[in-house]
Amino acid sequence: MITTIEADRYFHITGLTTTEIDDGISIAVRLAHTHSRRDGWEGVLVTRHEPGLYTVNLCSEIPYGITMERDLDSRAKLS
């Protein structure tokens, strides 16, 4: 499930299955890239907060045309 936080710039993605999450992230990244091409100066950041919870957003710290991933799930780091 995708929840739009800021139109074409910031999305929350939640899901119970890998397919749900992957599909949601793909759609959100595609929407963010479309907006980025109009502005021409921000990249896309995909962040994993915990299993089943991700955000996709435009980020001025990421170069235009680049998509980066970040994992903030502390449980993943402890394993």
Percent of the chain with pLDDT over 70: 95
Average pLDDT, integer, range 26-52 = 93
What residue has token string 């119970």?
Answer: 16
Comparing CA positions, the residue from 71, 16, 78, 17 lying closest to residue 45 is 71
Per the confidence metrics, is the pTM higher than 0.85? yes
Residue 77 has phi, psi (to 5 degrees) of -75, -25
Per-residue model confidence (pLDDT) at position 54: 97
State the residue range of the domain holding 18. Answer: 2-78
Domain count across the chain: 1
Question: Alpha helices, DSSP H only, in the chain?
Answer: 18-39, 74-78
For 11, the enclosing helix (H) or strand (E) is strand 10-14
* pLDDT exceeds cutoff 70 at 1: yes
